Structure 1
Amino acid sequence: MNSSRATCVRFVSRLLLVCALAPEMMAQANVQGRWRTLIQLMPINPVHVALLHNGKVLVVAGSGNCAPGQTVPSGQPACPTGAPYGPSNNSGAGLFDPATNSFTPFPLSWDMFCNGMVVLPDGRAFINGGTLRYDPFYGEKRSAVFDPSTNLFSDVQTMAHGRWYPTVTTLGDGRAMTFSGLTETGATSTTVEIYTPGAGWSQEFGAGWTPPLYPRMHLLPNGKVFYSGSGVTSRLFDPVAHTWSTVANTVLGTTRTYGTSVLLPLTPETNYRPRVMIMGGGNPATATTEIIDLGAPSPSWQSGPDMSGGRIEMDAVILPNGKVLALGGSSSDENESTATFTADLFAADGGSKSPASANSVPRVYHSVALLLPDATVWSAGGNYTRGSYQHQMEIYEPAYLFSGVDTSGNPIPAARPMISTAPAIINYGTGFSVGTPNASDISSVVLVRPGASTHAFDMDQRLVGLSFTAAGDVLNVNSPPNSNIAPPGYYMLFVLNSVGTPSIASFVQVTQPPDFSVSATPSSRTIVQGSSTTYSATVTALNGFNGNVSLSASGLPSGANASFNPSTISGSGSSTLTITTLSSTPAGSYPITITATSGTLAHATTVTLVVTGPSDFTLVVSPTSRTINRGSSTTYSVNIGAVGSFSGTVSLTVSGLPKKTTSNFTPASITSAGTSILKVSANPTAVSGTYTLTIRGTSGATSHSTTATLTIQ
């Protein structure tokens, strides 16, 4: 069968399926939800997608699984000829706007196909790795960020090695951890690298085991990262100690290739106890699911409800009500004839399942799905063979958007709660207010992190429940307690009414409040009474802090004073602390507290000041008189003693020797304190007599001397 005829047959089959199901789907929209197909077509292969805080979807295709120069079936867009990848090359990247169903294309200077992608705390998308070459595939070392305020891609620091099919995980401190992927030589990377925005990459941290490509990873409330698959053995990574530990083996006992994994909702009612659900995968695909309670003393995988059919290359999306929508995939990999159309809805705890309505477009390899701000689910892509992909996009409208059906069987839209006011920024561990005319009917307030989907896994999505009270038209909401529960960044804020219907989301940025830190170097100084010394105090702005910080010092010994230059720092900067003592300042060791204050914010650091008495040395010679015969020698003992904190080096010399005599010191100099032997030798022809020798010790500008007598017979 030729390609165009096969395409026609597939289209007719899907149309008949949709027509057959249409009355049932409409009648059950308030029970199972409904799908609709958009008129707008996706102009590039949507291999990687991320929802941005402006409500638009960043789509990254790169070369789009179409090797430059490859021949494609008739009627399909031509493969790119190479970089730059862009509209004229049927490749590149772009922004899809669900509000207007429009697409804005962007060119790419290198091939970002098969990258890992998350959104950084400041709202920029972070694209990690990509394709260096096809067949065999080699990974790119490069990474880039996409700034939605300028619609521009910018390269950032490169990694130690390339990564093709890496997984990126946002950590609690806002850094991005990458793991796995094929290197620039085609080997599977077994190292972790951690990217700090603006600063670059950490060193590589070896895992000691070989992960699958695109490993399924989740940040847990304890700050560790859980690896749930696709392999049999689950593991934990500690981003502080950079170590791995084994957790448990799956019930299935075989690899869940291109299955998916979801961190189930984190809620205050369960003290944010983490549970992870894995689904499908394998070829032929399994319909099984498993759940692990990572808050248990000895976590183990337990079987969950089966899906309605086996799914490989599937997607799973967390809805605002906490339920998980499992959709797409097929029972045989990259085979549209075995596509699974009926979606499944799993309860927020994963313990039960209900059917959702069926979509009409097969979603297999390279299909993606995202929750949108209007609480619908966007589904796109499906790359069943190289050079061909599904151009149609679909929207799933969950049952919570309908209240029933009218007498004609048409769905009735549900009354939705409304957010009238919401803060732009939310800080951890504090309260904030949400204005809504429906406050008395609100049953749930949640934050949903926008998704970043590729290859049957969303690297960014998570739902965090929030506790609240209602007062008039205001909800007083408690923010997430820390950044491991809700990593810093943008979230969709939803309120849900008593029947579970969500509002349209407001985007909020969750972050630490503006703050600063203070440090000082060196940690200790030693000075002599009556002298001065300096330290450098540094203020570092955190989370956008730009206030004025005043500096002060306390804990000074009597007779000492301190001054800062400058005395005030704006935002970030350094100041020189000068401490001056008097000759009467008591000797001793003093902890000096440097306090930095800006309004109600105050931070301190401590340095040590050691004050000693005058620094000097003594010089004593023994014996003070020696008598020798001509042609012989004698010795004197020269002792250097330290006074106060003296630690310098004393060089020794002797003068007053008669002619035809020689001398030497062993050693020639002494550090701090010690003894040197002065040897004097008289030539047989030396002149007899008594001579006064002057022995001198010198250390810098300090010099002391003493005398001794030498008699030659």
Structure 2
Amino acid sequence: GLGPRGEKLARKYLKRTGLKILAENYRCVAGEADLIALDKSSDSIVIVEVKTRSSDRYVDPESAVTAAKRRRLRKVGVVGIHAHLMPTGKVLLFGYPETSRRGTDSRLWDPKTGKFEASSVPWQNVFCSGHSLLPDGRLFVTGGQNRNGKEAGIRNTHLFDATSNHWSRGPRMRAERWYPTNTTLPDGRVLITSGNDRRERISRKVEVYDPASGRITSLRRAARRIELYPRMFVLPGGEVIRVGQESMSLTLDVAKRRWTRIAEQRRGHWEGNAVLLPGGRKILAVGGFTGRRAERTAELLDTSASSPRWRATAPLRRARGHANAVLLPDGTVLVVGGNRRGEGRQPVRTTELFDPTSESWSTVAPITTSRAYHSTALLLPDGRVLSTGQDNKYTY
């Protein structure tokens, strides 16, 4: 028929222009696309709708691709606000609930082939949740956004199994959480901190999930107000350290339920980045905002010192907040994206590399599109770095 012939011609044309065909007649809960291709020149996914006519005497084929159809095509993709590398080598991407009234859209992406797979839908909206891997390879996801669409959280947790590509319900937390942080402890349990409750106030409750029993318990004596999405790391001795958003760094002894002040940053790194460096004792804090101004500053903390103190190190070459920092296999730190004003204005496309040995920055290949608020980046098994997402008021 005419339709299949048109799609065949479209495939040939796309291949001639250098695109790689990833899928044909792709279907998911959001809809369908005739062709999905990879543009290797920009590492971009191209979603293609093919319309064929025997003649353009009466109407052009492109007129059949209406505004409503274009909106549906955009929904075939996914806004990768959240990304997590699964034990299968594939990356789970999820963001807004674009197509389902029940839960968030999610896809599995295979870095080897570039192909996407549709997954089941979580039971709730897990946009702006916390997530961490469990010892059995499942992803544990805490909280999300309340149905009213405000800055209020939910008590639900979810589990994602990449082998079956399926979401399931987990135990309910004591506190609602939106923008919480999960920290995997040495014994496999997960520490859950921060997040807005149903009244849009930051919860003081600190909880621990035990995957062996499937239960969540509250650490009442450890209760503390911690700003949203705290930067948390586990130190070699088993203590957990918080190095942001607030400038005062704290450690938590989980067994004793006790917080201890460690050191205060010289400059705040609000909506900046923190990375635990190789060896597990030194931490890099970089970028962020002071008021409305993006920062270039970077600082280092050596937690093994007798009296730990933050000290200044070489600043970024480009001021930025809302960036992403990725620890590379050679111990260097890649800082990707970010912006200088607001949530996405004045984007920064310069990519920078920090060498902890020389404490110096160098620039590497720039990104091809802006990646600011609600973007993410992660290290892939082959050494590449995936940069994705951003708030959809700016770009996908």
TM-score by length of 1: 0.44
CA distance in 1, matches of 2:224, 2:175: 17
Q: Which amino acid aligns with 2:246?
A: G
Q: Residue 389 in 1 paired to residue 395 in 2? A: yes
Aligned mate of 1:61, from 95, 98, 101 = 95
Task: Pick one of 360, 364, 380 that aligns with 2:388.
Answer: 380
Aligned residue number for residue 274 of structure 2: 261
Secondary structure at the aligned position of 1:191 is classed as: coil
Asked if 1:47 corresponds to 2:81, the answer is yes
Give a deviation string over 1:57-106, Cα, whole Å, max 9, x none: 0112242xxxxxxxxxxxxxxx54621x4xxxxx5111011111111122
Which has the larger strand fraction?
1
Maintained 8 Å contact 2:325/2:377: yes
Q: Is the 8 A contact 2:286 2:297 kept in 1?
A: yes
Give the letter for the 1:215 counterpart.
P
Q: How many angstroms apart in 1 are the aligned matches of 2:177 and 2:205? A: 10
Distance 1:136 1:359 in 2: 32
In structure 1, what residue type is equivalent to 2:112? A
Match of 1:623 in 2: none
The correspondence of residues 133-212 of structure 1 with structure 2, limited to 5 A, is: 133-134=147-148, 136-199=150-213, 200-207=215-222, 209-212=224-227
Q: What are the Cα deviations for residues 466-499 of structure 1, in whole angstroms up to 9, with x where unaligned?
A: xxxxxxxxxxxxxxxxxxxxxxxxxxxxxxxxxx
Q: Which amino acid aligns with 1:104?
A: E
Q: Are the equivalent residues in 2 in contact too, given 1:62–1:108 (CA < 8 A)?
A: no
CA offset at residue 208 of structure 1? 5.3
Counterpart residue type for residue 283 of structure 2 = V
What's the counterpart of residue 612 of structure 1? none
Alignment of 1:405-444 (within 5 A): none
Q: 1:112 to 1:259 in 2, by over 3 A?
A: same
The secondary structure found in structure 2 opposite 1:360 is coil
**2: CA distance between counterparts of 1:136 and 1:52?**
30
Distance 1:101 1:127 in 2: 25
1:320 to 319, 329, 335: 329
Write the distance in 2 (CA, Å) between the matches of 1:280 and 1:318.
16
Residue number among 366, 369, 381 corresponding to 2:374 in the alignment: 366
Question: Deviation at 1:384?
Answer: 5.5
For residues 20-72 of structure 1, give each alpha carbon's deviation from its aligned partner in whole angstroms, at most 9, with x where no partner exists: xxxxxxxxxxxxxxx95224258111111100111100112242xxxxxxxxx
Please say if 1:285 is aligned against 2:294.
Answer: yes
Tell me how far apart the structure 1 counterparts of residues 41 and 183 of structure 2 sit (CA, whole Å).
Answer: 32
Q: Which residue of 1 aligns with 2:355?
A: 347
> Using the alignment, how far apart are the partners of 2:126 and 2:370 within structure 1?
25
C-alpha spacing 1:320/1:37, structure 2 compared with 1 (3 Å): same
1:308 aligns with 2:317: yes
Change over 3 Å in CA distance of 1:366–1:49 after alignment to 2: same
Q: CA deviation at 1:210?
A: 2.0
Contact 2:195-2:202 at 8 Å conserved across structures: yes
Shift of 1:311: 1.2
Q: Matches of residues 622-661 of structure 1 in structure 2 within 5 Å? A: none
Please state how far the C-alpha of 1:191 moved relative to its aligned partner: 2.0
1:404 alignment counterpart: none
Q: Confirm or deny: 8 A CA contact 2:146 2:154 kept in the other structure.
A: yes
Residue in 2 aligned with 1:127?
A: 141
Shift of 1:349: 4.3
Residue 37 (structure 1) aligned with residue 42 (structure 2): yes
Aligned to 2:304: 295
Q: Provide the rounded CA distance (Å) in 2 between the counterparts of 1:120 and 1:349.
A: 32
After TM superposition, give the deviation of residue 109 of structure 1 in Å: 2.2
8 Å contact from structure 2 (residues 175, 205) kept in 1? no
- C-alpha distance in structure 1 between counterparts of 2:196 and 2:250, whole Å: 20
- CA deviation map 1:279-301 (0-9, x unaligned): 11113210111100000000000
Larger Rg: 1
Matched residue of 1:344: which SS? strand
Match of 1:333 in 2: 342
Does the 8 A contact of 1:160 with 1:204 survive in 2?
no
Which structure has more relative contact order (CA 8 Å, sep 6+)? It is 1
Matches within 5 A, 1:231-270: 231-252=246-267, 254=268, 256-266=269-279
Match of 1:97 among 110, 131, 140: 110
Distance 1:134 1:349 in 2: 49
- Structure 1 gaps of 5+ residues are 1-34, 64-78, 86-90, 267-271, 391-713
Contact residue 304 and residue 350 of structure 1 kept, 8 A: no
Q: 1:203 to 1:334 in 2, by over 3 A?
A: closer
Quickly say closer, same or farther: Cα 1:341–1:144, change in 2 above 3 A. same
Instruction: Measure the CA separation in 1 of the matches of 2:225 and 2:232.
Output: 15
1:356 matched residue in structure 2: 364
Asked if 1:225 corresponds to 2:213, the answer is no
% same residue: 33
Equivalent pair of 1:265/1:348 in contact (CA under 8 Å): no
Q: CA deviation at 1:125?
A: 0.7
Verify: 1:82 aligned to 2:101, yes or no.
yes
Partner of 1:669: none
Q: Conserved in 2, the CA contact under 8 Å of 1:139 and 1:186?
A: yes
1:384–1:309 CA distance, 2 compared to 1 (3 A): farther
Counterpart Cα distance in 2 of 1:175 and 1:350: 36
d(CA) in 1 for partners of 2:235, 2:334: 21
Q: Deviations over 1:106-130 (max 9, x none)?
A: 2222111110011111111111111
* Structure 1 residues 165-205: Cα deviation after superposition (integer angstroms, max 9, x where no partner): 00000000010101000112322111210000042111243
Number of positions where the alignment pairs a residue of Structure 1 with one of Structure 2 = 324
Quote how far apart the aligned CAs of 1:138 are.
Answer: 1.3
Q: Does the Cα contact within 8 Å between 2:80 and 2:388 map onto a contact in 1?
A: yes
Relative to 1, partners in 2 of residues 1:239 and 1:209: Cα closer, same or farther, differing over 3 Å?
closer
Instruction: State the distance in 1 between where 2:222 and 2:286 align.
Output: 25
Question: CA distance change for structure 1 residues 231 and 343 in 2, over 3 Å: closer, same or farther?
Answer: same
Classify the secondary structure of the residue corresponding to 1:237. Answer: strand
2:132, 2:140 within 8 Å by CA — same for their partners in 1?
yes
Give the distance between the partners of 2:100 and 2:135, measured in 1 at CA. 35
Report 1:665-676 matches (<5 A): none
TM-score, L = length of structure 2? 0.78
Which secondary structure does the structure 2 equivalent of 1:138 belong to? Answer: coil
Whether contact under 8 Å (2:239, 2:251) holds in the other structure is: yes
C-alpha distance in 2, partners of 1:134/1:260?
30
* 2:338 and 2:347 in contact (8 A); partners too: yes
Please give the secondary structure, in 2, of the residue aligned with 1:40: strand
Q: Secondary structure at the match of 1:244?
A: strand
- What whole-Å deviation, never above 9, does each CA across 1:252-311 have from its counterpart, x for those lacking one? 1x4x22101100011xxxxx5x00011111132101111000000000000111111111
SS in 1 for 2:337: strand
Q: Structure 1 residues 104-113 or 239-248, which shifts more?
A: 104-113
**For residues 206 and 309 of structure 1, do their structure 2 counterparts lie closer, same or farther at Cα, with a shift above 3 Å needed?**
farther
